[in-house]
Each structure stands twice: as structure tokens, then as C-alpha cells.
């Protein structure tokens, strides 16, 4: 079943051209099922592009999904019309008493700052704390993953001497994990970041597991053992030309930037990039949605009554997850 979206959202018409099935709220109301409730905290500067990227992935599922977009109230985006934000985004205070089956916290171009120096850090802390009792499973992306690892587990980040930029091969640590079930042993992920996490600190947190990594650039997918928190350092949601756009944007601004690794054929920016990560991106999001659908309470308010702290237990505690273990 398709994604249930607010009518007139720009992504609807864009994705119909790709034969991605979406529907507006009027048609969705005619189906007598409980849809999954999802919310995206969109911290990226190009809001509409990011909306489209995630809707594309969430739509490729047999499940009906109600999707909300959340904004930071104390921060005004520079690259998105205020009319768009007012029509399609909610402030945190308007959803603070709601419950969601899943949440996505995106990346943000603020990695050069200390977390506490980000102008919306206090509000983000409040949202991440709220997610522990009001969201069944939260997916953190790129800087959002770094921020989540820092807030929840004290894992620090550090500036890299050179930007990690390109399409990198990732190796599965456990081919039987449910979240990466169906992945090839080597899969590709776009990365675009100036910072990296403290890998040793991650390994010391007992409730965290690394699912995929690259020996040169570090971990890519990290999860709590109950999968209620997922951290992805790369950008599986990126479209085919996102890195191309970033590359030429930085060239135009005279910023130091190298040709994205393993992206343009023959490293020639004049040639069309090759999309190498779409199948694994779709697979990961389908696996995540399937997991949430299987384990989230039918009465969504019951999420707030879950007594076990996030990260306690393991996949062996879940009958569904046992399907994918050895």
C-alpha cells in the first residue's frame, strides 16, 4: 500500500513520474486499517529534495504509512519557502503528546560545530529524549546519527583531514541480521561528511552493534540490540545526482573539494554518475518498516508504556527477529 501524504506536497507529483505509488489523505481514509505513523525531522537545507528522497524509499512498501514532517521551531531555513514550511511542517510542541511507530532524524550541515554550539541543539535534545518514550524505532542519518550517538551514549566525533565524499563499499559484519537481510556481503553507500565518530567508544557501549563498515572510513550502520535506535553514517536515501550537485556547488563556491570517490565513470565529472546503491537502500527501509510493523503495539499509545530501557534485550528476544539468526 502507498504512502499517505498531505495533499499538494510537491514530492507527490515528482514521484508519480517515477511510477512511485503515493496517495493523498482523502483516499487513504477509505481504507479500514491502522497505518504506520512516521515522522521525519528534516534538518537538511534543501527540504523538498530531502522530502522526496525519503518518500521515495518509504513508498516502496506494502504498508500504508501516515507521514508527518517536523521542523525545528527556533531555526528558520534559508533555502525553502516559508509558505512550504507553514503548510507541510509541524512544530514539536504540536506533536509532543503524539506517538509514532517510526522516526527519521536527518543529517544537517553543522558538523564543523560542537554539538552544544548548534543553535537548535537544546530543542534537538528535547526531541531525542521524547523519542525514547513516544517512538518505537528511530532512524538517525549522517550528522543526525552522530548527534544521536553523542546524546544517547556520549560518543564523540572528530574532524577529518579530508572530506569523506563518494560511494564507498561497505562490508556486512553479520549477514544474518534482520535489518540488512538480503544485502550482498558488499554494498555501496554514499557518504558526504567532514567528521567521523569515535569507533572505540562505540565498541565499548554494550547495547550497540555494528552491522556494516568500511575499513578506511569506519562504521556505517549501527543499531541498539533491540533496534529501537538505528544510526546510519552514510546517505542511502540520496538520489542519483545529489553528490554531483554537491560537487559542483562547492566548486562554484571555491571550497576545497575532490571528485567524489567511485561515482563518476572514469572520474570524469562530465559523465553521468552510476547509481549503485538503490536496491540496498530500498531493502534496508523495507526491512525497517517490516520490523516496526511486526513489533510496534497496535494501540500506538502503548509505546509510552514500554518499561524496558532502549538497548536492553537483543534480537533473540524478538520472535520475528529470530527468523534471521543462524
What's the half-sphere exposure (Cβ side, CA atoms, 13 Å) at 193? 28
Residue 124 is classified by DSSP as H
Q: What φ, ψ does residue 188 adopt, rounded to 5°?
A: -110, 145
Residue of 142, 152, 170, 191 with catalytic role: 142
Q: How far is CA 213 from CA 91, 95, 151, 255, 271, in A?
A: 35, 35, 22, 28, 28
- Are 316 and 326 spatial neighbours (Cβ–Cβ below 8 Å)? no
Please indicate whether residue 235 is annotated as part of the active site.
yes
Burial of 83 (0-12, 13-18, 19+ CB in 10 A): exposed
* The three cell numbers locating residue 50: 530531502
Residue 70 forms beta bridges with which residues? Answer: 41, 90
Q: What φ, ψ does residue 242 adopt, rounded to 5°?
A: -65, -45
Distance CA 189, CA 177 (A): 18
* The three cell numbers locating residue 126: 528535547
- Are 311 and 207 spatial neighbours (Cβ–Cβ below 8 Å)? yes
Residue 37 forms beta bridges with which residues? Answer: 66
Please indicate whether residue 207 is annotated as part of the active site.
no
Residue of 51, 66, 123, 237 with catalytic role: 237
Residues annotated as catalytic (active site), given as ranges: 142, 235, 237
Amino acid at each position: 500500500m502507498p504512502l499517505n501524504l498531505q495533499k499538494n506536497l510537491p514530492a507527490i507529483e515528482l514521484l508519480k513520474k517515477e511510477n512511485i505509488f503515493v496517495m493523498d489523505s482523502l483516499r487513504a481514509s477509505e481504507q479500514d486499517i491502522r497505518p504506520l505513523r512516521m515522522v521525519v525531522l528534516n534538518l537538511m537545507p534543501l527540504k523538498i529534495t530531502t522530502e522526496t528522497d525519503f518518500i521515495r524509499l518509504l513508498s516502496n512498501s506494502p504498508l500504508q504509512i501516515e507521514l508527518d514532517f517536523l521542523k525545528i521551531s527556533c531555526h528558520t531555513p534559508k533555502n525553502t519557502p516559508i509558505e512550504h514550511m507553514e503548510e507541510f511542517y509541524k512544530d514539536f510542541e504540536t506533536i509532543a503528546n503524539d506517538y509514532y511507530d517510526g522516526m527519521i532524524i536527518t543529517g544537517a550541515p553543522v558538523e564543523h560545530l560542537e554539538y552544544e554550539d548548534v543553535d537548535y541543539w537544546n530543542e534537538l535534545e528535547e526531541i531525542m529524549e521524547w523519542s525514547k518514550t513516544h517512538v518505537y524505532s528511530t532512524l538517525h542519518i549522517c550528522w543526525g546519527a552522530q548527534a544521536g550517538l553523542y546524546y544517547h551514549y556520549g560518543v564523540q566525533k572528530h574532524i577529518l583531514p579530508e572530506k569523506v565524499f563518494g560511494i564507498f563499499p561497505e562490508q556486512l559484519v553479520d549477514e544474518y541480521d534482520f535489518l540488512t537481510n538480503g544485502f550482498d556481503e558488499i554494498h555501496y553507500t554514499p557518504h558526504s561528511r567532514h567528521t567521523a565518530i569515535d569507533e572505540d567508544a562505540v565498541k565499548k557501549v554494550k547495547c550497540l552493534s555494528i552491522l556494516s563498515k568500511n575499513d578506511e572510513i569506519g562504521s556505517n550502520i549501527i543499531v541498539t540490540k533491540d533496534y529501537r535506535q538505528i544510526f546510519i553514517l552514510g546517505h542511502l536515501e540520496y538520489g542519483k545526482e545529489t553528490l554531483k550537485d554537491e560537487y559542483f556547488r562547492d566548486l562554484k563556491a571555491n571550497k576545497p573539494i575532490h571528485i567524489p570517490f567511485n561515482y563518476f565513470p572514469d572520474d570524469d565529472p562530465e559523465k553521468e554518475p552510476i547509481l549503485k546503491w538503490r536496491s540496498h537502500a530500498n531493502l534496508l527501509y523495507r526491512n525497517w518498516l517490516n520490523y516496526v510493523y511486526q513489533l510496534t503495539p497496535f494501540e500506538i499509545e502503548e509505546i509510552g508504556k514500554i518499561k524496558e530501557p532502549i538497548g536492553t534485550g537483543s534480537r533473540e528476544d524478538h520472535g520475528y527477529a529470530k527468523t534471521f539468526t543462524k
